[in-house]
Amino acid sequence: MPTGSKVEEVKAELAKVVSQCKTENELMSRVVKLLHERMLKYNWVGFYMLENEAASQSAVLVLGPFEGAMTPHTRIPLNQGICGAAASTGQTVVVDDVHADPRYLACSLETKSEIVVPIFVNGKVAGELDIDSHFPAAFALEDRHLVEFCANLVGERIEKARHGQ
Ligand code: SME
């Protein structure tokens, strides 16, 4: 199956998942499971959620639901790692070769490329979705769109929960 139609299929499954999940935590757990199972080059898939406001000194990214091997990085300050870069700038970061990026915090020796997409809640970064691949340059434009789609689903769900909807 061409990757494009796989991405469309996974997006359709995600839309179903959203309607089935009652809490944001359940949604995050289902999203990481689905991406990890269906997207064969997504070897580690996990959320990091921001503890304290991005602008505050004590802001730190805390590991949330994930699929893949346990990572030593369960708490990441905003000035560290590719994860810190995405959260502090509010921009998606795609790294084709993690070993050529001085910001990279190693999680698995097998990781070759990584994508990190911020999650926005009411216009502010609230966390991020991080994916590692054992393949170099695994994240093309359509992958970026898929991961951004997932990050938006979670951001919207948190926004709704905060407004008591
Ligand atoms: N590689 C990330 C750290 C998290 S692990 O990949 C799960 C980084 O450089 O921020």
Percent of the chain with pLDDT over 70: 98
d(CA 21, CA 73): 27
56 C-beta neighbours (distance < 10 Å), count: 11
Model confidence, pTM: 0.95
Pairing of β 93-95 and β 75-77: unpaired
Smallest CA separation from ligand 1 atom 5, residue: 107
**Under 8 Å between Cβ of 115 and 93:** yes
Q: Which of 8-12, 52-56, 128-132 has the lowest mean pLDDT?
A: 52-56
Smallest CA separation from ligand 1 atom 3, residue: 105
Convert the pLDDT of each residue in 95-119 to its tens digit.
999 999 999 999 899 999 999 999 9
Smallest CA separation from ligand 1 atom 2, residue: 105
Output DSSP code: residue 24: H
pLDDT at 107: 87
| Average pLDDT for 2-27 | 91
Query: Which residue from 35, 104, 105 has its CB within 8 A of the most atoms of ligand 1, so it is best to mutate?
Result: 105
d(CA 43, CA 36): 6
Q: Kindly state the tokens that stand for 17.
A: 């998942």
94 C-beta neighbours (distance < 10 Å), count: 20
With a 6 Å cutoff on the Cβ, whether 82 touches ligand 1 is yes
Convert the pLDDT of each residue in 127-165 to its tens digit.
999 999 999 999 999 999 999 999 999 999 999 988 876
Ligand 1 centroid–CA 100 distance in Å is 14
